[in-house]
Amino acid sequence: MREIDRVLTYLESEQEAAVDRLCQFLRIPSVSADSKYASDVRRAAEWVGSFLRDAGLKTETIENRGHPLILAETPHQDGLPTVLIYGHYDVQPAENVHLWTSSPFEPTIRNGAIYARGASDDKGQLLTHMLSVRAWKQVTGSWPVNFKFIIEGEEETGSHVLQRFLEQAGDRLACDCVVISDGSQFGPDQPAITYGLRGIAYFELRVSGPSHDLHSGVFGGTVTNPANALAQMLAGLIDDEGRVNIPGFYDDVDPPTPEERERLRQLPFDEKAFWQSLGVDSAVGEVGYTVLERRWIRPTYDVCGIWGGYQGEGAKTVIPAEAGAKISFRLVPRQHPTRVRELLEKRLKELCPPGIRFQLLDLHGSPAVVTPLDSPFIKAAEKALRAAFPNPPVFTREGGSIPIVSKFQERLRADVLLLGWGQYDDNAHGPDEKFLLADFHRGTLASAHLWQEIREIANTRA
């Protein structure tokens, strides 16, 4: 029996144990954005480190003014490619607990899926690679390629510790390719290889007016209301055709090529079913582009949160002294967050009404990334996914952002494989986040196949 067949047999026999391990991981409420969970975030880091250490990898915890990094690697074998596996053990907050069917940090299996915060983003997907690497060593006594893991605890808050590590000691992560599973397939039973990610520029906008809250009857109509001003400024950043209304914003945006538009049109996408799955019945966005083009290859602007004035029960007639919003821009290749900030600040000055002051806080950002479709690692991933899933993979881009990916490309000069095992309706940042167990298991098998296929790249070159 071939080595890969033995590894696959072992993984299939261990599926129940794999789910148990995932449940252990998911029970740790590793919310990086909230300081009250700091000890739990560290506990999740320790869980990852312990797993990789038990799997036979040399493992190190790296501290650098934030949540710890876990760096692990196998002994170097000459003549074999080196693969860097990236993932994150931190999760989004699980606010609005009343909207969850079951407790967000008590994993629950329903209808073939496991429900918990972090199930799909990213603990479940990360664990597939950890399990497959462990299985290769357990079954064959060796590893098919050289492995490095870099697992962080701040992906959901900007990856600041990892970015500093890349700047200071990035050579320790030298590799031939980076593998990341932190996204979704194109649809049920339809795996995808994602060759591009949009970038992001995320800001907090604060506006202020009077020195204190005012009675809206006594003072209404005599001072500029910061909440009104905020609404006007936010609305002024987009036009009636869905385009970002900031002069210069599109200067660095290349139009999609006819070839890419045709490639997207060929994908088996049911627009009506997509809207139904989201609970809406109409499409919005930039005029002249399809839903997939708007999601993947065009820049966008969104208000992600907004506040100001009285929020309690009943009525309180008040003009708030201040108001604010969180806003994000998704970026495409050649756009840069720094330039977007410059243009945004200039536009906000134009939109800001008399009697109002504003402050723009830069929270985090990263450029878009694209991997060439002729990469040998893309070809290896295609073979691996064909072996593990019922349908061959399609090639897609992704509207979301993984901020560290552009840093990997820039610092390591390595191709990045984005292989998401989740589904777009996994509710990764919302209530009832889930991960289909069938995809968890198939992702683990695909991961095991991938290492075999990447080893073949070295054999072919030899």
Just list the catalytic residues: 90, 155
Burial 414-448 (b: 16+ CB within 10 A, else e): bbbbbbbbbbbebbbeebbbbbbbebbbbbbbbbb
Q: Cβ contacts of residue 63 below 8 Å, gap of 6+?
A: none
How far is residue 425's CA from residue 238's CA, in Å, rounded to a whole number? 27
> Which of 320, 322, 243 shows the shortest CA–CA distance to 289?
243
Question: CA quadruple 28, 32, 36, 39: dihedral positive or negative?
Answer: positive
Tokens of 74: 């196998």
Q: What is the 3-state secondary structure (H, E, C) of 120-172?
A: HHHHHHHHHHHHHHHHHHHHHCCCCCEEEEEEECCHHHCCHHHHHHHHHHHHH
Is residue 88 within 8 Å of 404, Cβ to Cβ? no
* Rg over CA atoms, the chain: 24
Is residue 420 within 8 Å of 122, Cβ to Cβ? no
Tokens of 373: 């479709």
Phi, psi for residue 270 in degrees, rounded to 5? -105, 100
Tokens of 233: 């400024």
Sheet holding 300-308, edge to edge: 300-308, 322-331, 199-208, 357-366
> Which of 101, 115, 105 shows the shortest CA–CA distance to 44?
105
How far is residue 144's CA from residue 73's CA, in Å, rounded to a whole number? 13
